[in-house]
Structure formats: structure tokens, C-alpha cells
Amino acid sequence: MTEEHLAVQQAARDFAKSELLPGVIERDTHQKFPAEQIKKMAALGFMGMMVDPKYNGGGLDTISYVLAMEEISKVDASASVCMSVNNSLVCWGLEKFGSEEQKEKYLKPLASGEVIGAFCLSEPEAGSDATSQRTRAEDKGDHYLLNGTKNWITNGNSASIYIVIAQTEPEKRHKGINALIVEKEMPGFVVGRKEDKMGIRGSDTHSLMFTDVKVPKANRIGEEGFGFTFAMSTLNGGRIGIAAQALGIASGAYELSLRYSKERKAFGKTLAEHQAIQFKLADMATQIDAARLLVWKAAYLKDQKKDFVKAAAMAKLFASQVAQDVTTEAVQIHGGYGFVKEFHVERMMRDAKITQIYEGTTEIQKMVISRELLR
């Protein structure tokens, strides 16, 4: 790691401890979006880390991004999913594929964190099979008429700018899909109900409804019919962020367990002096290190402009399983205290599960990896 990497890591670690840790249990309990904390993250440059400084970004590499994601996720995975969506699903796609006007108008405020973005692909009937888009973007000459419903949208209510994937020419199937930039104020756009979730409860997950929303053609990203390729390319990079999130949840739970095992006594000695607990810690640390290397490899390949699709899917597949395993063991090490909110690890166990579901489930990652292997 360079000095810059270490500085980013330290800044994220300090921020997580001083600003995210206080109140994280309360936000989880009451499903409260960390609005104030996200504003402070924006001021520190965490919301558009990889964007070119000319568009208000931090101009950092993907390694810096995953280091920051790990540190933020160690403490608050609800804040880190907001950060991940804004950085890798919204800013990255806009910078890579957006027009100059779109970058000026939308990327700049998103990269500075002045506003938050959302990425809207999933629908009630289109999750893993993202080609089955029912949301329609009818071509009306100078604009599209958007109609449909999106589900499970992170930053659903807190966002101001939404990238919406919609079908324009159903007969062309996935080649008839477009990616449109939609503003929250556009008439006909309604934010639906907030989901009551098992984990990442501080994050803001909503359904969205579009009824005859007029979206100017200038808000289409890329050429006509580019939307599906746009979504898949964006998700390939996004997976590195979620892999880093999973890694952070695991390493946060591990650090708490290590500390607790040195403090808690049973049978006249600390938990850490019992070999059964030592072996748990050894397994947890080994799994976390392996996950971290996969995450860094994917980030490194992306930074080197090499093909990172398989590496990103492997990192997400593995790190999300590690998050499941390590957080479950963390609760076990904490015993009864692990089962109550005050000790954090039960929240981490609940938060870990989502990393196996969003931005491509575990099964979808295996499909991506095997497709790459058999190519």
C-alpha cells in the first residue's frame, strides 16, 4: 500500500469510530437513515472517491475505495451500502458512459456528495433475471415516457438522482433496454413504501413507481439499446464494493470477538485461553485474510484496466460467505451477550446476509465465474 492508501484507510477508520459508531444500534433499531453521517462522509470525499477531480471526485484508485469500504463496513454496513451505490453503481457508470452534459449536470453533485444517487434495475418480476424488464420507456421523439415499478432500491428515498433501467423495444429483448437518468422532482415519479428489513436497517430501501414520467432523450446514457450492457458493466464493478463491504462486516465482527475473548472469563481463564476459542479465531482470521486478498486482487485488476469480471465475482462470492461464517462465530464467541444488540455482533450477523443477495446472488456469482472459466 502507498502512503496515500494508508491515509485513506486511517481517515475511514477514524471516521467510522468517531461518527458512525455512536448511534449505530439506534439507527438499526429505528431503521433510521444515517443522513447526517453521509453528509460528513461527503465532506471527507467518500461519496465519489474514484471520480476525476474535474467532476468533483477524489481521483483515487479502486484500492483506496475498498480500503475505505472495509473500514466503514466494520462499523456500519448501512452507511457503507449508501456509499457503495453512490460510488460504484452511480458515479462510475456516469463517468464511464455518460455524455459531457450529463457529467456536468449530474456527476458533479453526485461525486461531491451534495446529492445521493440510486441505481434502479430490480423489479417485482425481474431480479436475477434482469432481462425481464417490465418498466417501459416508450420512445416519444424527443423524450421517453416512463411507466413501471422498481423494487428494493437502495437510497430509494434519500436519493435525488436515479439511474433507471427500462425496456424500450421489447421485441429486441435485452438489446432494446435503455438506462435513463431520472430526477426525483420529475412529475409522475413516486417513492413507494420503505422495506422493513432483517439487516442493513439504517439503509433506505424503497419501491419506486413511474407513471407517464417524461424523461428527455438527453438523459439516456449511451446509445439507444445500451441500457442492459450499461447495467451489467456497472454491476461488475459494483461487486468489488459489496465484496469489500462483506469483508468489512467480517473483520469488524472478528475484531470485536478477539477483544471480547481476552476479557471474558470462563472456568478460571479468559476465553482466549481455551483452545476451542483460539481455533475459532484462527479460522476467522484466515478466512478474512483470504477474502481480503481476493478483494484487493479484483480492485488491483480494475485499476490496471485488466479484465476483472471473474475476480470481482470470486471476491464477492467468497467474501460474502466469509461474512456469514465469521459473524455467526462472532455471536458464538460472545455467548448470550452476542445475542443482544448492545454487543453489535448480532447486527453484523443480520447485515452479513444481504451481501449474498444484492448485486448478484451467490448463485449468480457462480454462474458468472463458471461462464468466465468455460469461455
Residues that are catalytic: 359
φ, ψ of residue 191 to 5 degrees: the values are -85, 125
Q: How far is the CB of 105 from ligand FAD (least distance, A)?
A: 22
Q: What mask, x for binding ligand FAD by CB under 6 A, covers residues 51 to 90?
A: ----------------------------------x-----
Q: Which is nearer to ligand FAD, 137 or 200 (CB)?
A: 200
Q: What mask, x for binding ligand FAD by CB under 6 A, covers residues 115 to 154?
A: ----xxxx----xx-----------------------xxx
Q: Which is nearer to ligand FAD, 85 or 291 (CB)?
A: 85
Q: How far is the CB of 235 from ligand FAD (least distance, A)?
A: 9
Q: How far is the CB of 294 from ligand FAD (least distance, A)?
A: 20
Q: Interhelix angle for 309-334 vs 227-263, to 10°?
A: 30
Site residues (CB under 6 A) for ligand FAD, limited to 198-217: 200, 205
Q: Which is nearer to ligand FAD, 40 or 194 (CB)?
A: 194
Q: Which is nearer to ligand FAD, 197 or 316 (CB)?
A: 197
249: burial class by Cβ within 10 Å (0-12, 13-18, 19+)?
buried
Considering only the stretches 54-62, 269-277, 331-339, 358-366, report the one whose residues sit in contact with ligand FAD under the rule CB under 6 A: 358-366
Q: What mask, x for binding ligand FAD by CB under 6 A, covers residues 326 to 355?
A: ----------------------------x-
Tell which one of 74, 358, 365, 368 touches ligand FAD (CB under 6 A): 358
Q: List residues near ligand FAD by CB under 6 A.
A: 85, 119-122, 127-128, 152-154, 197, 200, 205, 354, 357-359, 361, 363-364
